[in-house]
Structure 1
Amino acid sequence: MQYLQYIKPAITADTSTLSATNLAGRRIEAGAFSHPQWLRLCFIERQLLWERRLTTTMLMETFGISRPQAQKDIKLYQQLAPTAMKPYQLGIPYHQPTEGFEPVLLSGEDLQWQSIEDYAPPSAGHATEMPMLKRRHNLPVLARLLSAIEHQRSIEAVIATMNSPKGRTRRLTPTAVAFVNNRYHVRAFCWDHMGYRDFLIGRFKSNPEVVTAPRSGMSSAKNAPAFEQCNGVPPEADTDWDQMVELELKPNPHLSGEQQALIASDYELEEGGAWKRVTMRKPLIGYFLVDNRIPSSKVEYHMAAHDNPIAWPVFACTADSNRPAHEIGFKPD
Structure 2
Amino acid sequence: MDGAQSDTKIVNKWNQARRLEFIDFRLSCDGRINRRDLVEFFGISVPQASLDLARYHQLVQDAVPPRVNLAYDRHLKYYIRTSDFKPLYPQLCSPTSYLADLLALCRGDLPPSRNYFGFVPNVGVATFVPPRRNISAEVLFNLLESIRNNMAVHISYMSLTSNANTDHLIAPHGLAYDGLRWHVRAYCYDHHSFRDFVLSRILRCAVPEIKAPSDRFPDPIGNGFREVGTTGDDDVDWNELIDLVLRANPDLPERSRRAIELDYGMEPNGTVVYTCRRALVFYTLNWLRLTEEDDYLPPERRQIVLDNKDEVRRRMAGGH
Shorter-chain TM-score range: 0.5 to 0.7
Deviation (angstroms), 1:309: 2.5
Identity level (%) = 19
Q: 1:207 aligns with which of 205, 208, 218?
A: 205
Provide the residue aligned with 1:282 in structure 2.
278
How many angstroms apart in 2 are the aligned matches of 1:148 and 1:214? 9
Q: 1:271 aligns with which of 267, 274, 291?
A: 267
Kept in 1: contact 2:151–2:171 (CA 8 A): yes
Deviation (angstroms), 1:177: 0.9
Q: 1:180 aligns with which of 175, 178, 181?
A: 178
Provide the residue aligned with 2:58 in structure 1.
none
User: Which AA in structure 1 matches 2:310?
Assistant: R
Please give the secondary structure, in 2, of the residue aligned with 1:259: helix
Aligned residue runs from structure 1 range 208-227, under 5 A: 208-212=206-210, 224-226=223-225
Provide the residue aligned with 2:293 in structure 1.
299
User: Which AA in structure 2 matches 1:144?
Assistant: N
For structure 2, the 5+ residue unaligned runs are 1-6, 19-106
Provide the residue aligned with 1:49 in structure 2.
none
User: Which AA in structure 2 matches 1:247?
Assistant: L
Return the structure number with greater relative CO, CA threshold 8 A, min gap 6. 1
Moved more, 115-124 or 129-138: 115-124
How many angstroms apart in 1 are the aligned matches of 2:243 and 2:129? 29
How many angstroms apart in 2 are the aligned matches of 1:250 and 1:287? 19
How many angstroms apart in 2 are the aligned matches of 1:218 and 1:132? 43
Change over 3 Å in CA distance of 1:214–1:290 after alignment to 2 = closer
Kept in 2: contact 1:158–1:204 (CA 8 A): yes
Please give the secondary structure, in 2, of the residue aligned with 1:205: strand
Deviation (angstroms), 1:129: 4.0
Counting matched residue pairs gives 220
Please give the secondary structure, in 2, of the residue aligned with 1:248: strand
Verify: 1:195 aligned to 2:193, yes or no.
Answer: yes
Deviation (angstroms), 1:299: 2.0
How many angstroms apart in 2 are the aligned matches of 1:116 and 1:144? 27
How many angstroms apart in 2 are the aligned matches of 1:259 and 1:271? 15
Provide the residue aligned with 1:90 in structure 2.
none
For structure 1, the 5+ residue unaligned runs are 1-54, 67-108
Deviation (angstroms), 1:250: 0.8
Change over 3 Å in CA distance of 1:284–1:61 after alignment to 2 = farther
User: Which AA in structure 2 matches 1:224?
Assistant: N
Deviation (angstroms), 1:182: 3.5
Kept in 2: contact 1:177–1:185 (CA 8 A): yes
Moved more, 308-317 or 130-139: 130-139
CA-based RMSD of the aligned residues comes to: 4.3
Structure with greater Cα Rg: 2
User: Which AA in structure 1 matches 2:293?
Assistant: V
Deviation (angstroms), 1:254: 3.0
TM-score by length of 2: 0.55
Deviation (angstroms), 1:203: 0.7
Provide the residue aligned with 2:250 in structure 1.
253
Kept in 2: contact 1:286–1:326 (CA 8 A): no
Aligned residue runs from structure 1 range 146-161, under 5 A: 146-161=144-159
Write 1 or 2 for the structure with the bigger share of helix.
Answer: 2
